[in-house]
Chain A
Amino acid sequence: MAREPLDEARFRREQGDLDLLFRAHYPEIVRYLAVRLGSREEAADLACDVFLEAVRSAPHLRWRGRPVLAWLYRVAANMAADRLRQRGREVPVERMPEPAVEDPDRLPDREALVRALGRLPADQQLAVHLRLVEGRPFSEVARLMGRSPAACQMLVLRAGRTLRSLLETEGIHAER
C-alpha cells in the first residue's frame, strides 16, 4: 500500500517520457516476443510496433494501480496472437543466441526447450517469462498479469508440467 504513490509517480513518468519507457522495457518485450513468435528478428520488429502503440495510447492511459509495463505486455501478447494467426498458427523456431545457463549438461537441448516454451498457452508462457526469464518475484508477476500470486504460481506449475510432457513426447526427459 505504501508503494502506491511511488508506483503512480513512476506510471506518470513513464507515461510522459516514452524514451524512458522504451529504454527500460524494450529488451524484455523483445525477449518475450522472441519466444512467442520463435523469431528474434520478428520479435524486434513487433516490439517496435508495441511501443508505437504506446506512443499513441500511453498519454490516454489511466492509473489503475498497475504499471505501464502491464499494458505493454498485454499489447505485446495481443499483437503476437495476431501475428501467429496471420501466419496460420505456425511457430517456426530459429536458432536463439547462446544463453547463459549454469549447468548445461543437466538440461535438455536448448532449442527443444525454447521450442517447448513457445508451445505453452499464452498465459503460462507470460508467467514463466516474468518469473523466470525476467526474474521478478511472484508478487510483481501478479501485479503485471492482474492476477493473484497464487494464480500465477499455479500457472507456472502448469507450465512446468506442460513443458515436461512436451519434452517427453520428443524423447527428452528432465533429470529428477
Chain B
Amino acid sequence: MLSADERRAAEQLALALDGDPGAADEARELALLLSGAAGAARIDIPGEEVERALAGTRLPRPGTERTRRRARPLAAAAVAVAVVAALALPLLRSSPTVDVQARAAGAIDRRAVIHVVSRITSPTGVLPSGGLTTWIDHGGGRERVRLTRTDDHGIPLVDVLSTPGRYLRYQVRTRTAVTGPSCRVVASGCAELLDPVELYRQALLRNGIGNARKVTTGDGQVYRFALPLPGSVGRPGIHQVVSLDAETFLPRTIEWRDSTGTVAVISVALVEQLAPDALPAGVFRLPLAADTHVRQVDASGAEVRLLDHGRITLAALRSSSITTAWLGEVAGGWRLQRIDVFKYTAGIAVRYRYGDATVWTYDQVVPPVLRAGHLSPVKILEDGRSPVHFYQTDGGGAVAERDLRDVTVAVVAPALTKIDVLQLISRARPL
C-alpha cells in the first residue's frame, strides 16, 4: 500500500521532470540525478547502423525457407583459395558494394537454425585445425550452440553444447565431460564456441563491407573483401579476408590474416539454414557414453561438493536468506510434506516433497539426481512465461524445469504425465 506521502513525492518528481521550479527539494534533486543518468544513456544510433541491422534481419529470398549450399570437395575448396590468390589481382573489378552487403547479410537468415560444416587449416595454431560442425539457433535471444570438432580423419574429438545457463563439454576420446552454468567454467570454453562463419556474420553486420571486388576463380565467381574480427577474438591485428560465392552470397573461404600473412584458412563446405521445426532430431542433445565421467563445476571452474544437508521448516526457510521457490502449501492435491536444504560449495538447492512429486530449486548447482538428464533437454515448451524444459532423470522420471527470476525450479514426478507435471510447474513462484 502506498502512503499518501509517497504518492505526493512521486507527483512532485513528475512535476520536476517537466521542469516545474516549484517542485519539492527532493524531487528537484532526483530529477537532476535521473536526467543526468538518462543523458549518459542517450546514445546516438546512426541511420546507417539501423539500415545495416535491418538488412541483417531480412529474408534472403521471399519464400525460401531452406537454403543449402551443397558440400564441395574440401580439397577443391582448399585449392580454390590458392587459385583465388593467384588470379585475384588481374581479374579484379569493382562491384556495387551496397548490394553485396545487403545480400551477404540476407543470405544468413538469423530466423533459421544455421548449420555450418567447415575445415580449418591453421599452421600457426591460432585456430584448432581439423573439421568443425556447428549448429547455431539464435532462437529469439535464447542462443543454443552445438559444436563438434573432429581430427583430419573425421574422428570426433570434442562435442560441446551450450544453452542458456547450461554448458557441457564432452571429450570423446577420454569419455569425460564437464558441465557448468556457462562456457566460462572451462578456460578455453567460450573461445571454443566461436564458429568462424558466425564471427564473419557478426563482423558483416557490425562493420559492413567497405570494398568488395568480384573475382573470377577456377571455381566460379566470388566477391572478396576484408573484415575485422570482433574485438576480443584471436590475437590483435588479425583480420579476415572473405571469399563469398557470387551466386549464393554465402562464404566459401575465410582467411584469417595478420601482418605476417595467412594464419588460418576456413574452407566452408556447407552452410545450411533450417526452420527450427525442420531440425533433425537430437541436434541440440548431447548423448554421453554410459561410462562417461561427468564433472560439475561452479562458475569459477571449481568442482562442486556437498557441504551439508538437512530438514528445515517452512518458517525457518522463509526467514533465511535462501532464494527459493515453491508450489504453495498444497499442489496437485498433495500437501507440502517436508523440505530439505542441500548446501554445496557453489550454491544451495532446496527439495520439497509433495506426495508423488518432488520439487527442486537451485541456482548455480544442479542437484545430482537431476544432473544426468539435465544435460540433454528433451523438449522445450513455451507457455507465454519462461520456457519449460522437459527431460528425464536416470530412473526415467519426467522432469519439468523452468527458470524463474533468480532460481531454477524442477518438478520430478515419475508417476505423472507431462501435462500434470507442466500444470505443477506452472504454479511455481518465489517463496
Contacts and interface: CB of A to CB of B under 8 A. Distances in A.
A11 interface: no
Contact of B32 (A47, A50, A107): A107
A111 B396 CA distance: 51
A151 to B, nearest CB: 9
B170 to A, nearest CB: 20
Contacts of B206: 41, 44
A132 interface: yes
A35 interface: yes
B73 interface: no
Interface string A81-118: 11101111000000011011110001110110110110
Contact of B41 (A114, A175, A176): A114
B41 A117 contact: yes
A100 B6 CA distance: 31
Contact of A157 (B10, B39, B40, B56): B10
Given A101-B36, A113-B37, A157-B13, A19 B54 contact: yes
A48 interface: yes
A35 B41 contact: yes
Contacts, number: 181
B205 interface: yes
A159 B13 CA distance: 11
A174 B32 CA distance: 8
Given A48-B57, A85-B164, A153-B10, A30 B36 contact: no
Contacts of B43: 30-31, 34, 40, 96-97, 99
B299 A88 contact: yes
A175 B165 CA distance: 41
Contacts of B205: 45, 48
Contacts of A167: 33
A129 B41 contact: yes
B22 interface: no
Nearest to A125: B41
A19 B29 CA distance: 41
Contacts of A88: 181-182, 184, 299
A61 interface: no
B14 interface: yes
A163 B14 contact: no
Contacts of A41: 206, 230-231
Interface in A27-73: 27, 30-31, 34-35, 40-41, 44-53, 55-56
A122 to B, nearest CB: 9
B388 to A, nearest CB: 14
A163 B37 contact: yes
Contacts of B35: 132
A34 to B, nearest CB: 6
A137 to B, nearest CB: 9
Contacts of B39: 99-102, 107, 110
Given A45-B202, A48-B110, A175-B29, 4 more contacts: A26-B45, A52-B111, A75-B140, A174-B29
Interface of B: 2, 6-7, 9-11, 13-14, 17, 25, 28-45, 49-50, 53-54, 56-57, 110-111, 138, 140-143, 164-165, 181-182, 184, 202, 205-206, 230-231, 299, 386, 403, 405
The 8 closest A-B pairs by CB, nearest first: A79-B141, A160-B30, A132-B38, A107-B36, A27-B45, A101-B39, A153-B10, A110-B40
23 contacts: A31-B41, A34-B41, A41-B231, A44-B49, A48-B56, A51-B57, A52-B110, A82-B164, A87-B182, A100-B39, A101-B39, A102-B39, A117-B37, A128-B38, A132-B17, A132-B38, A153-B11, A154-B10, A157-B6, A159-B34, A163-B33, A164-B30, A176-B25
